[in-house]
Structure 1
């Protein structure tokens, strides 16, 4: 299984438009972050987790030529706004399978009604094949996918475990029984927004405590804002098995 971090930034990305914050002015490519998403390559399949507003640029940057499925964590703009840009994949492959909670599918249908309609559909619009998921394992082409349920403020969000890899973003609170799903991981990806506490995201201290609780072999931090600090400086502070993810980083599990 190969994981590509397509984007590792928070909802505004880094740099923020018009900001004079030192991290936003950094020349280090690792301090420039598109909106958060990962590509999972498994057994010849390309699985995208979240499809945000930077999707097109991310596909071009990583020369992605096919897309077999999209798994959605939740309906916020920075995780869904790129859906229209699946068109090149649709034109070559047909309807793209999407997997999401019932609530998320409803939000997508409202926002992208022209994609989901079956009547008088515009011929240039892409098409999708909907798969409603709940908090129980499901299968994609022989791969068992285990949803992990948690809270992003008052919004319920799904993370996903696939074999020994798990991806959790926009996490603030999680129940003990959901943490049990994460035992024995080789790689955990989890959000760490900034140093100061936040009402709906882990800060760095909370993320590191959660990683210690789950105890994966390796962990990567994502969904990062400029307020966390410079990439290279933050990396030096982290435990030896914890890393700051950055855009276009590729790892194997």
Structure 2
């Protein structure tokens, strides 16, 4: 399985509009962060988790020519706003796009993109096939996906474990029984917004504590704001098995 980080930034992205801080003015490409998303290439299957506002730019940058399914973690706009751009894949692949998410999330997509679900056979609109999920494991194109229930303040969010890879974003609490589902993953990706505590995201220290308990072979931090600091400075503070993710980073599990 090849993993590509399409975006590693928080809801505003980095740089933040109008900000002149050290991070937003950095010329280091690792400090340029689009909204959070990840691509999984599993043999001949192509899956993306979340389609934020930068979806089109991300898939063009990474030359992702096929897409077999979308998984959504939750309904916030920075994770769903790019759904319209799947139209290109509909045209190329000549089929509806399978979309997996909790019923609450799928209902929100219907509100955000009413023209997709109006029933009108208008040429050029995105074509989707909705697949409601629960906390039970499910399959995508024959690939087993284990949902991980986490909390984003009071909002239930799904993380996903696929094989030895676990991806969790927008989280500030993981229950013990859900932690057990993550254990044994070789690679874990986890939310780490900034240094200071936040009401709905892990801080850097909190994320490191969770990952230290889990002890995967490798861990990456994502959903990073400009308040966390320069990539190269933060990297120097992390345990050896933890790294900051950055846009375009690829690895295999």
TM interval, short-chain normalised: over 0.9
Q: Structure 2: how far apart are the matches of 1:233 and 1:121?
A: 52
Partner of 2:243: 243
SS state of the match for residue 3, structure 1? strand
SS state of the match for residue 178, structure 1? helix
Taking the TM superposition and a 5 Å limit, the aligned residue runs for 1:169-248 are: 169-248=169-248
RMSD over aligned CA atoms reads 0.7
Mapped pair 1:107 → 2:108: yes
What is the CA distance between 1:22 and its match in structure 2? 1.0
* TM-score, L = length of structure 1: 0.98
Mapped pair 1:66 → 2:66: yes
Q: Structure 2: how far apart are the matches of 1:43 and 1:202?
A: 33
Structure 1 contact 159–167 (Cα < 8 Å) conserved: yes
Taking the TM superposition and a 5 Å limit, the aligned residue runs for 1:75-154 are: 75-93=75-93, 94-118=95-119, 120-154=120-154
Q: Structure 2: how far apart are the matches of 1:241 and 1:46?
A: 27
User: Any stretches of 5+ residues in structure 1 without a counterpart?
Assistant: none
Runs of 4+ in 1 over 2 A off after TM superposition: none
SS state of the match for residue 146, structure 1? strand
User: Any stretches of 5+ residues in structure 2 without a counterpart?
Assistant: none
Q: Structure 2: how far apart are the matches of 1:179 and 1:65?
A: 35
Q: Deviations over 1:12-31 (max 9, x none)?
A: 00000111111000000000
Q: Deviations over 1:31-56 (max 9, x none)?
A: 00000000000021110000000000
Partner of 2:166: 166
* TM-score, L = length of structure 2: 0.98
